[in-house]
Amino acid sequence: MVYSAQENRYETMKYNRVGRSGLKLPAISLGLWHNFGGVDTFENGRNMLLRAFDLGITHFDLANNYGPPPGSAEEMFGQVLKKDLAPYRDELIISSKAGYTMWPGPYGDFGSRKYLIASLDQSLKRMGLEYVDIFYSHRPDPNTPLEETMQALDHMVRSGKALYVGLSNYSAEQTEKAVDILRQLGTPLLIHQPKYSMFERWIEHGLQDVLDREGVGSIAFCPLAQGLLTSKYLNGVPESSRAASSTGALQKDQITPEALRKIRALNQVASSRGQSLAQFSLSWVLRGGRLSSALIGASRVSQIEENVAALNKLDFTEEELSRVETILKTENDSEQ
């Protein structure tokens, strides 16, 4: 059956400008970190991608090693792009990254010019693209000069293989240096992709201030703390969850009695707002308009629909924000 996008797909989605650039991103973006690899069901992934686009999600975030196996998420996305989304290419923001281990030997990891450029070439081939909209340095490389990594990003833009460049997992200090180098090269830093949620708030202690000052956008990954900030764990660890099998990024030992106490208390605040815990958590991340977008993952279409509905209620009262801080604050918390 030939796919035709919903005509009203842009009517309800909220789009935010990325820093001081001319680009806008949907407030909710879809990441293909999990559930879109070669071990997953193709039709389920396809249905999620198409439903996301029908809901106004124009940004799809990938990386060279997403799968498993590594590279298979880009291959899967490339198939859907060719089959269904090719007519809409100019309506899409497609991003990829390199920085973690992708192939054996000394040239398949971290941030050398050799690795980054080779990786982007491979990613373009897997997705069947001439360019990506955003290419990220996925993590800083302690053994490669920052200038070399930034020069590689600059080269990608000048060669037409990427329209914009970004960073992920860089500290505030590293980001500030990267911004300066890229500005001198003539390729401004568009965006930073940090891990950020109610349970991981490090960006509030320097990084977000740097991004605001330099006019760089931000998109939070893991805004639901790998599913911890959803209804999934309100009653403990389900046997069917990744945490139970220790195959995902969320490990069973992270779901402590203290964490469960917090998510149950947060769920009460969410319920009083007429939101699910997931919707509440996304609204909180997007509060105040400092972030350009929140990057969600999904294993089924209904999760995407639920998460997008978070945009119906982004405003918080001072009382609600105060309740959140009280819940999150404990004697041993170092990030509050």
In terms of Cα–Cα distance, which of 142, 138, 196 is closest to 168?
138
Q: Which positions ≥6 away from 122 have C-beta within 8 Å?
A: 64, 71, 102
| Coil/strand/helix, residue 64 | coil
Name the helix (H) or strand (E) containing 255: none
Q: What is the DSSP string of 270-334?
A: HHHTT--HHHHHHHHHTGGG--SEEEE--SSHHHHHHHHGGGG-----HHHHHHHHHHH--TT-S
Structural domains of the chain ordered from first start? 15-227+276-314 (3.20.20.100)
Q: What is the pLDDT along the chain (336 residues), one digit of tens a residue?
A: 899 999 999 999 999 999 999 999 999 999 999 999 999 999 999 999 999 999 999 999 999 999 999 999 999 999 999 999 999 999 999 999 999 999 999 999 999 999 999 999 999 999 999 999 999 999 999 999 999 999 999 999 999 999 999 999 999 999 999 999 999 999 999 999 999 999 999 999 999 999 999 999 999 999 999 999 999 989 877 666 655 555 556 666 778 899 999 999 999 999 999 999 999 999 999 999 999 999 999 999 999 999 999 999 999 999 999 999 999 996 445 444
d(CA 75, CA 86): 14
The percent helix, strand, coil of the chain (3-state, each to 5) is 45, 15, 40
Q: Are 123 and 64 in contact (CB under 8 A)?
A: yes
